[in-house]
Structure 1
Amino acid sequence: MCGRFALTLPNDAIAQLFAAQPANDLPQGPNYNICPTTPVHVVSAGEGIRRLQAMRWGFLPHWYKTETAGPLLINARAETLAEKPAFAEACRKRRCLIPASGFYEWPRASRGRRLPWYIRRCDDAPLAFAGIWQDWRQHSGQNGGQDCGQHDSQATCAIVTTAANQSFLPIHHRMPLMLEPQDWSLWLGESGKGAASLMQPGPEGLHLMHRVAMDVNSSGPADPR
């Protein structure tokens, strides 16, 4: 599960890290409280180049007539990614990387309260979440079953998750699929087939976790807490 995350790197540093060509409309940071449905940085590959662009965090299947026509799909389970109708084609053709500096989880504490924790790498290196993406068009009207207009397409994405490893289990039973630099090319489809081999919990002991202020429960604050 991943419901909020942070990204503190400047756009030029992200583009350099992933050897990607940056778009002109990237979100500005740093942002310590990135929320679902907002634009996020996404690295995709095609035609021999990598691109860094903004996409809506919240995958929209092509059959959604509006952004709220079905469940909000911010995460996609690795175990069923290739089988779910919403994700199957994107799993084969449109995999991506979603940069992050860390992310948040809310384990249940005493008296049933959920308290926010922040998770980052021990070496403070950036994270690369495995993701999938989809171009989506909102149907602006129908006439006798025929579309009578469409808005411009919107790029949308979801973060792939796996079962938690042992060190992460005290926080949550699911965790984002986080890829090491040597695996980025395979996930993006630049190195041929075999991306399915990456869809498993990461190594133990790579991450640190600490409690943060309850302010992160709100979508407003975007500064360090």
Structure 2
Amino acid sequence: MCGRFAITMPNDAMAQLFRAAPANALPEVPNFNVCPTTQVHVVTSEVNARRLGSMRWGFVPQWYKTPTDGPLLINARAETVADKAAFKAAVRTRRCLIPATGFYEWTKDADGNRLPWYIYPKDGDLLAFAGIWQVWDKGEEPMQTCAIVTTAANTAMSKIHHRMPVVVTEADWPLWLGEAGHGAARLMQAAPEDAMALHRVGRTVNSNRASGPQLIEPLEDQEASPNS
């Protein structure tokens, strides 16, 4: 799964990278602790033009009477996304990219303590998670919501967690966004074994209120710091 991530690229640089027109109001960056139900950056393709906008991370199906009327849908499984009632229309016609610098996962020690890890691209490039989106219009104002598509982890990642986000490479952005015809289903697979790096980070990030660049620093660097 993917339940927390970081995004550090400035909004103007993000818009330039994706060749997308930026919305007037975008989430603040850098954010080293992006949490579910908050607004996240989302790239969509609309009438032959890309848009960098903002959506609530937490997909809300049309039949929910309120945003909390059912489970919080922050992820959609690649293996079942085309069949699930909540997601099947979106994966056909409303696919998006969700930019990230890296993401977090957790293991547990012998005492059950949650030990966070930070996973990021080895080449330093920005990640583009495969996403789907939905407008929920049962409230006072329509709400744009999204979920991250996940798949079975590759061997390296499986040592930490059995799931990981689907990462779309730049060459495949047009296909996932629906700009390059059909066949996006083939993109819903794990990143190559050598594409990602990971390291343990401090348990401060276990709190959804934590912030700051220290959240992604390797644990051994923090322990060696005179201020740790």
TM-score (norm 1): 0.93
Deviation of the 1:123 alpha carbon: 1.3
**1:160 corresponds to which residue?**
149
Mapped partners of 1:216, 1:129: distance in 2: 21
Residue 138 of structure 1 and its aligned partner are, at CA, apart by: 2.5
SS of the residue aligned with 1:27? coil
Using the TM superposition, give the Cα deviation of residue 63 of structure 1 relative to its aligned residue in structure 2, in angstroms. Answer: 0.6
Aligned pair partner of 2:179 in 186, 190, 201: 190
Counterpart of 2:177, as a letter, is L
Matched, 1:177 2:166: yes
CA distance in 1, matches of 2:110, 2:171: 41
Q: Give 1:4's aligned amino acid.
A: R
Query: How many percent identity over aligned positions?
Result: 61
Secondary structure at 1:67 match in 2: coil
1:203 aligns with one of 180, 184, 192: 192
Match of 1:49 in 2: 49
Shift of the alpha carbon at 1:217? Answer: 1.1
Kindly state the Cα deviation for residue 152 of structure 1 after the two structures are TM-superposed.
Answer: 1.4
The alignment partner of 1:99 has SS state of strand
Gaps of 5+ in 1: 140-150
Query: How many angstroms apart in 2 are the aligned matches of 1:133 and 1:215?
Result: 31
Asked if the contact 1:109–1:115 (Cα under 8 Å) also holds between the matched residues in 2, the reply is yes
**C-alpha distance in structure 1 between counterparts of 2:213 and 2:205, whole Å:** 9
Aligned to 1:148: none
Distance (whole Å) between structure 2 residues aligned to residue 219 and residue 202 of structure 1 = 27
* Structure 1 letter corresponding to 2:176: W
Partners of 1:214 and 1:166 in 2: how far apart?
24
The letter for the 1-side match of 2:116 is: P
Give the superposition deviation at 1:113: 1.9
Distance 1:109 1:119 in 2: 19
Structure 1 residue aligned with 2:202: 213
Deviation sequence 1:49-106 (CA, Å, 0-9, x none): 0000000000000011101100000000000000000000000000000000000001
- What 5-or-longer segments of structure 2 have no aligned partner? 215-228
Which residue in the other structure is 1:88 paired with?
Answer: 88
Contact kept in structure 2, 1:59 and 1:157, CA below 8 Å: yes
C-alpha contact 1:39 1:57 (8 A) present in aligned 2: yes
Q: 1:63 aligned to 2:52? A: no
**Alpha-carbon deviation of 1:115?**
0.4
Give the partner amino acid of 2:158.
L
TM-score normalised by structure 2 residue count: 0.92
Aligned equivalents of 1:218, 1:87: Cα separation in 2: 29
Cα distance in 2 for partners of 1:109, 1:91 equals 37
The Cα of 1:218 is off from its aligned counterpart by 1.0
2 CA distance for matches of 1:161 and 1:82?
A: 13
**SS class of match (1:186):** helix
* C-alpha distance after superposition, 1:25-71 (max 9, x if no partner): 10111000000000000000020000000000000000111011000
Aligned residues: 214
Tell me how large the CA RMSD over aligned residues is.
Answer: 0.8
Q: Residue 135 of structure 1 contacts residue 156 of structure 1 at CA under 8 Å; is this kept in 2?
A: yes
Tell me how far apart the structure 2 counterparts of residues 168 and 106 of structure 1 sit (CA, whole Å). Answer: 11
